[in-house]
Amino acid sequence: MQVFGLVGSPVEHSLSPPMHEAAYEELGLDARYVTFEPARADLEAALLGADALGIDGLNVTIPFKQAVRDLVDVDDLAARVGAVNTVDFSGSEPTGHNTDVAGVQRAFAHHDVALAERRAVVVGAGGAGRAAAFALADAGADVQVANRTVETAAELAEDVGGTGHALDDVPSLLADADVLVNATSVGMETDESPVPADALHADLAVLDAVYTPLRTRLLRDAEAAGATTVDGAWMLLFQGVAAFELWTGRDAPVDAMNRVLRARL
């Protein structure tokens, strides 16, 4: 039996176990997906133990995505993003990867949103913001970053060849933008949006990384403005799809994983 899992804190309400187990069931794989919540001080021991026990792959979530980067060999993308969300134990040494980037790119691709040479605005510069900015820049978009803490926006913007901005600049940035990603936590469990509704327009494709609720205030405003909308469950789904494919070398049963994920949301 193969064993995969998730390391983070808290992980109790994670949607990754049902999403991945739906894939195993669909493909008839003899595999399980379990959650682990080690203390921060035990993270390195936990990874060594996972390797020694023959665990095949681990996802990594808050608050360990940055710390794991310093504990395993990381691929070029995870090194550039500065965060690991997937560890693969199949080689002689564990390797760290970042499938949040693929999650953003595949979420847009699934909605037929082209990114090459498009003007993109990322609002938020934390973990999700970094993944979104690299996803868009690597796909060939021109990326501007806005954040409550402008210094963090400037740092991320520099990493992806754009400019950092304050949140107040977002309406003017959006005027001639094609793509918007909300990567702040604004709208999570509240009916707030980080972007004024009147800054949204029909030529935008809007991805909200927030997925609780699925139809956030931002996405409802975007829909009303005639924009294309992509909810955060698509990003969550496709980061899991990319991890599944990395670990198993097989095409993921995307529909089965999506069905279970949306049923849980």
Query: What is the set of active-site residues?
Result: 65
Q: Which residues bind ligand NAP (CB under 6 A)?
A: 62, 100, 103, 124-129, 147-149, 152, 183-186, 188, 194, 209-211, 232, 235-236, 239
CA–CA gap between residue 139 and residue 79 (Å, rounded): 17
Cβ nearer to ligand NAP, comparing 93 with 189:
189
Tell me the Cα Rg of the chain: 18
Between 1 and 13, name the residue whose CB sits nearer to ligand NAP: 13
CA atoms of 90 and 258, how far apart (whole Å): 26
Give the DSSP H or E segment for 33: strand 31-36
Say how far apart CA 157 and CA 144 lie, in whole Å: 6
User: Tokens standing for 151?
Assistant: 């210094």
**Closest CB 206 distance from ligand NAP, rounded Å:** 13
Q: What minimum distance in Å lies between the beta carbon of 100 and ligand NAP?
A: 6
Choice between 30 and 188, CB closer to ligand NAP:
188
Cα distances (angstroms) measured from residue 187 to each of 110, 182, 234:
23, 9, 17
- Phi and psi, residue 36, nearest 5°: -135, 140
Please state the closest distance from residue 90 (CB atom) to ligand NAP, in A.
24
Nearest distance, CB of residue 231 and ligand NAP, angstroms: 8
Whichever of 108 and 211 has its CB closer to ligand NAP, that residue is 211
